[in-house]
């Protein structure tokens, strides 16, 4: 009986996936600049970076900083999918928003078809907000896991 229980436990343990979860972030940036002057894109990094290479510890006794060059941090291999701006010369364009939704839905469906699960979505708006405000973006981060 003990042998059967041990074999059953080993068989169960062998079927459990013990690999660590993997995450992927894809970002959409949609322009909220009036008159259609901004740029809107879906951005997907095609290379990985180890944040530890660009991290330093700061203490009161040590004011030295990690002298990493910005060029080493930059990702040079990425996909860029064009989106339409929220505004054109006539004002807000609901057709553009619907078109962007269709492209983002396609991207999400493709990620899911490739084994990714949409785990989190975060968004924010950045705008100057002052008199004659002419700058702004709506940014959304799609965080996938598998």
For residue 69, tell me if it sits in a domain.
no
78-134 residue pLDDT tens? 999 999 988 877 778 899 999 999 999 999 999 999 999 999 999 998 876 667 666
- Residue 7 domain flag: no
**Within-domain flag for 65:** no
Report if residue 55 sits inside a domain.
no
Using a pLDDT cut of 90, give the percent of the chain over it: 45
Q: What is the pTM of this model?
A: 0.75
Domain assignment present for residue 71? The answer is no
Pairwise CA distance, residues 88 & 80, whole Å: 21
- At residue 101, the pLDDT reads 96
Q: Is there a domain that residue 12 lies in?
A: no
Structural domains of the chain, count: 1
Does some domain include residue 109? yes
Task: Determine which helix (DSSP H) or strand (DSSP E) holds 102, and give its type and residue range.
Answer: helix 94-113
pLDDT given for residue 132 in this prediction:
67
The whole domain housing 23 covers: 19-50+77-145
């Amino acid at each position: 009986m003990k042998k059967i229980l041990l074999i059953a436990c080993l068989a169960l343990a062998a079927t459990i996936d013990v690999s660590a979860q993997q995450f992927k972030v894809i970002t959409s940036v949609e322009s909220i600049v009036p008159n259609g002057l901004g740029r809107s894109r879906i951005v997907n990094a095609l290379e990985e970076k180890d944040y530890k290479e660009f991290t330093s510890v700061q203490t009161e006794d040590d004011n030295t900083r990690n002298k990493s060059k910005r060029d080493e941090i930059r990702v040079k291999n990425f996909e860029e999918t064009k989106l339409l701006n929220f505004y054109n010369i006539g004002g807000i364009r609901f057709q553009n928003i619907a078109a962007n939704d269709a492209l983002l839905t396609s991207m999400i469906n493709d990620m899911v078809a490739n084994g990714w699960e949409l785990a989190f979505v975060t968004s924010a708006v950045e705008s100057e907000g002052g008199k004659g405000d002419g700058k702004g973006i709506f940014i959304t981060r799609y965080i996938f896991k598998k």
